[in-house]
Chains A and B, each alone.
Chain A
Amino acid sequence: MSKEHDKGMSLIVKVITRLTVGLILLFGIYIVLHGHVSPGGGFAGGVIIALSFVNLMLAYGKDVALKKISKSAMSFFESTGALLFLSIALLGFTGGYFFLNFISKGEPFRLFSAGIIPLCNIAISLKVGAGLFAIFVVLVLLKFEWEKKE
């Protein structure tokens, strides 16, 4: 089951992927950062970031993709995203309430406004992106017991 993914897909797919995968990553980051002004936010942006890595893995095979971001780095990013979110929530205690919006809010519709919401979006996108890519890697690269003995 894992042998076809080692060599990757045909040449046309590899060339187009090389051109577009960086743009997909950039688009995902754009959706995350503008989550408080336009639709999107942490979860949708995180899914798009994960999909850019999945695209890389499908086109080139697992060795190239896992060299870009290793399994332990994925696990680290996932837990870091969750701890960052929790610490932002606990820092709200300095203003007196759990989860309070304590950074100044600025004027509406600008990029640097709305308090803690952009930081929460970044934390969520880290966790969702790393988590989805980890799920994909684990499900695709599962080696059965009877395959391991070959």
Chain B
Amino acid sequence: MMAISNIIPLFVAISLLGAFIISIIGKRLKWLPDLMGSLTTLVLLGLSFITMRIVATQGILVYSVGSWKLPIGIVLVLDGLTVFMLITVNLIAFFISIYSISYMNRFTSKWKFYTLFLLMVAGMNGVVVTGDIFNLFVFLEIASVASYALVAFGTERHELEAAFKYTVMSTVGSLFILLGIVFLYSYTSTLNMADMANVLAQKGMSNIVIMVSILFIMGFGLKAALVPFHAWLPDAHPSAPAPISAMLSGVLIKSLGIYTLCRFFYNIIGINSSFSSILMILGTLSMVIGVFLAIGQWDFKRLLAYHSISQIGYVILGIGLGTPLGIIGGLFHLFNHSVFKALLFLNSGAVEYATGTRDLQKMGGLMTKMPITGTTTLIASMSIAGIPPFNGFWSKLIIIIACVQANRLGYAFWAVLASILTLASFMKVMKYAFFGKLRDKWNKVEEVPVFMKFAMIILALICVVGGVLLIPNINEVFLKPASDVLLEGTKYADIVFKGIQ
């Protein structure tokens, strides 16, 4: 009936529709928020698989909102990198919304949780779909403000303190991003990303572009928790309820931080060797400092939060290399980290649901009482430490090979060291939490409800078969279009202009 590119605005429209319908009638009908949340995320997941097929057959899709032509109107662009991020975000969102059907039963107002959750999903979908800089800023703020409220959801003491620190630091990051957008607008007098790439290619490198790049590295680096902008993450991620920790650590810092860094530095400003070395240095610092700070932790979720910083360093190292193998490794590790970090946070939530504590020194021998949780944690730990044949091994191997091939042996050494230390700290987690002798006070602990089990088992299955994404036939459809978009750099603008009919 209509052109196939009409599917693009549905990603934002359906999640907003779900959020506001829950807000009106969710108070009276108790079963509506659960059903609506799971249904909406399932529909979005289905739509993102359809877009994967569309981009594989038709190439890039461009949609102008309200039929205002380029470069005046807002455009929505669907290329390989967008499809990759859409599938990651919606997959994790669907499993988390199923998990939170049982987990959030102990909070009083579940409809508020689902409204904020769907608003956050709408904001993240909007960030990856849009092709206009200020539209990206608006959706970034929608997702961020929803996450500030979600971190403080339980209103206990430490949750409020963590939410306040997170809000202040993230607002300063948004202010830096807005300042960068203002400078870029005054220099190029256009807000469209493709048009801006053309104008910047014509005008060449100048001092304003360098200042804008520094402002964007500061702003988006703060959203992505790169060292030295990481100080909010170890407080904010453990204090949130477990599904929200999984969402924040699994997709929010990637969709808001790493995707936008890639877009700006590869497609608009154009990568050169100094930016690439800055990204690689920041990535290596994150890897090493994250893992050194993580080893001494005894709180389960705080340890996982520090490991998030370290694994994001791997992704930035892979993407900052700039070679085709490095970019594929970085993007694959982004997808893998979403899956196994979300699984680890859901496991810690299951342990907290059953035993009521997060302290590793108080647990012990839970494997006999909670076999499914223990097995999935074992699978996720082997994945993050990089043990074959789980998916973490393949992506870390590709990043290390890419470093060696590009003759940067120092970075490869730090990557291997961080991997060994990650293995050590997860062996500690497994030994203290699941193996060992069962203490007396955990004798009545039983396995978690069925919704939580379902989400954890499916995510663990994806961890096991994740290496299959590297087989050449599947690689062409999923990973290769994403890395091709980054590799062609500022020629992105020509493709977008040709895509307008």
Could you tell me which A residues sit within 8 Å of B by CB distance? 75-76, 78-80, 82-83, 86, 89-90, 92-93, 95-101
B375 contacts chain A at the CB level, 8 A cutoff: no
B133 contacts chain A at the CB level, 8 A cutoff: no
Q: Check A89–B13 contact: CB distance below 8 A.
A: yes
Cα A93 to Cα B7 in complex, Å, equals: 11
When distances are taken between beta carbons in the complex, the residues of chain A under 8 Å from B23 are 75, 78-79, 82
Q: Check B24–A79 contact: CB distance below 8 A.
A: yes
The 8 Å CB contact of B13, one of A79, A90, A95, is A90
Q: Check A80–B2 contact: CB distance below 8 A.
A: no
Cα A3 to Cα B21 in complex, Å, equals: 36
B391 contacts chain A at the CB level, 8 A cutoff: no
B9 contacts chain A at the CB level, 8 A cutoff: yes
Please give the distance in Å from B427's CB to the nearest CB on chain A. Answer: 43
Cα A97 to Cα B66 in complex, Å, equals: 5
Smallest CB gap from B3: residue in A = A96
When distances are taken between beta carbons in the complex, the residues of chain A under 8 Å from B66 are 92, 97-101
Cα A96 to Cα B67 in complex, Å, equals: 9
When distances are taken between beta carbons in the complex, the residues of chain B under 8 Å from A92 are 66
Contact with A along B3-22 (1 / 0, CB 8 A): 00010010001001100110
Q: Check B24–A98 contact: CB distance below 8 A.
A: no
Q: Check A83–B2 contact: CB distance below 8 A.
A: no
Cα A40 to Cα B455 in complex, Å, equals: 49
Which positions 7-62 of chain B face chain A at CB distance < 8 Å? 9, 13, 16-17, 20-21, 23-24
B138 contacts chain A at the CB level, 8 A cutoff: no
Smallest CB gap from A92: residue in B = B66
When distances are taken between beta carbons in the complex, the residues of chain A under 8 Å from B65 are 97-99
Cα A34 to Cα B17 in complex, Å, equals: 28
Determine which residue in A75, A95, A99 has the highest number of CB atoms from chain B within 10 A of its CB, and name it: A99
Give 14 CB contacts A-B under 8 Å.
A76-B24, A79-B24, A80-B24, A82-B16, A82-B23, A83-B21, A86-B16, A89-B13, A90-B13, A92-B66, A98-B13, A99-B9, A99-B65, A100-B67
Q: Check B17–A98 contact: CB distance below 8 A.
A: no
Q: A79-B23, A93-B6, A98-B6 are in contact. Are A86 and B67 (CB under 8 A)?
A: no
Which positions 377-401 of chain B face chain A at CB distance < 8 Å? none
When distances are taken between beta carbons in the complex, the residues of chain A under 8 Å from B2 are 93, 96
B425 contacts chain A at the CB level, 8 A cutoff: no
The 8 Å CB contact of A82, one of B6, B9, B20, is B20
B64 contacts chain A at the CB level, 8 A cutoff: yes
Please give the distance in Å from A145's CB to the nearest CB on chain B. Answer: 10
